[in-house]
Amino acid sequence: MREIKTVVIAGAGTMGSSMGETFAKFGYDVILYDIFQEALEKAKKLISLNQETEVVQGMVTKEESEKLLSRISYTDDVNEFKKADFVVEAIAEKIEIKHKFWKEVSQLVDEDVILCSNTSGLSITKIAEVIKNPERFAGMHWINPPHIIPLIEVIRGEKTLEENAEVVRELCVKLNKKPVVVKDAPGFVLNRLQFSVMREALNIVERGIAPVEAVDDVVKYGLGLRYACLGPFQVADLGGLDIFYNISSYLFEDLADQKEVFGRLKECIEEEDAKGVKNGKGFYDYSNGKDEELIRYRDTMFTKVSKTLYEEK
């Protein structure tokens, strides 16, 4: 089996930059590739910001952080994929864009290099249709922010060889992550759950049951604490399945079942070009540095919770 030393990550956006930081933290040489120079500059800035928080939180020392940063290089030259021992793609979530990318890149890399997509839920089997030697291709679905969240879903497409999916799973363990191997269904597992919550959250706002801020508070101060420690089946077992059965019998029929994007999410994108933190406006306003403030808050709090849950047992 090929030893993995150099990891090339395609797409230096929200995910790719933070994934790069994680590989570098565990000693891998990382090449971050993007078609836009501007994206590479932004990635450098984001990684520095994340590292500042990690140093303040005591997750890495200043020296370790500097070493980590020196292991990451940035490029817009597609030929750099020839240096890869492992490739993860985190470019735009559109099948045509991913197909164009993989058609070219899978021809450039050595034949024994394992290839992964960080797609949030596109079919791994479908992406694999254009890939040279598709048996080495799998899904490696990281969760935002990748340098903090432990879960990675590993997805086997129809053509993925089991031993290659196992290499990906073992690599996740080396990165101190918690991999879960799942089937190639739309959205895999995490996004099927996350978007069930999102659909109901939009529905609650749309029907005037509660505003955006109240929905966020209900999750932060209620469900969130439970779900940080327990899964929904454990929560139900603790609550009593008879109770859960009775609530399901009157509540399921009233829950959201829209089949199209609707409500505030639709308005934000289609009417207001509000993409969230990335362009300064979303469900909330992120002007005047409120974007960086929220990222810093998120990373600080996630790191504290993660230390409590996974390190101080």
Q: List interacting residues with ligand NAD (CB under 6 A).
A: 10-16, 33-36, 39, 90-93, 97, 101, 118-120, 141-142, 144
The string over 144-159, giving b where at least 16 C-beta atoms fall within 10 Å of a residue's C-beta and e elsewhere, is ebbbbbeebbbbbbeb
| Residue number closest to ligand NAD, CB atom | 13
One-letter identity of residue 175: L
Q: Which is nearer to ligand NAD, 97 or 185 (CB)?
A: 97
Spatial strand order of the sheet with 114-117 comes to: 72-75, 29-33, 6-10, 86-89, 114-117, 137-142, 151-156, 178-183
Minimum CB separation from ligand NAD for residue 304, in Å?
Answer: 21
Pairing of strands 137-142, 114-117: parallel
Q: How far apart are CA 116 and CA 136, in angstroms?
A: 8
Minimum CB separation from ligand NAD for residue 241, in Å?
Answer: 32
With CA atoms as reference, report the closest residue to 9 among 27, 30, 28: 30
Q: Which is nearer to ligand NAD, 3 or 96 (CB)?
A: 96
Q: Which is nearer to ligand NAD, 22 or 118 (CB)?
A: 118
Q: DSSP 3-state assignment of 167?
A: helix
Q: Which is nearer to ligand NAD, 212 or 277 (CB)?
A: 277
Minimum CB separation from ligand NAD for residue 40, in Å?
Answer: 8
Bridge partner list, 7: 30, 86
Minimum CB separation from ligand NAD for residue 275, in Å?
Answer: 9
Q: Which is nearer to ligand NAD, 90 or 167 (CB)?
A: 90
Q: How far apart are CA 296 and CA 293, in angstroms?
A: 5
Minimum CB separation from ligand NAD for residue 258, in Å?
Answer: 21
Q: Which is nearer to ligand NAD, 129 or 206 (CB)?
A: 129
With CA atoms as reference, report the closest residue to 51 among 130, 148, 126, 144: 148
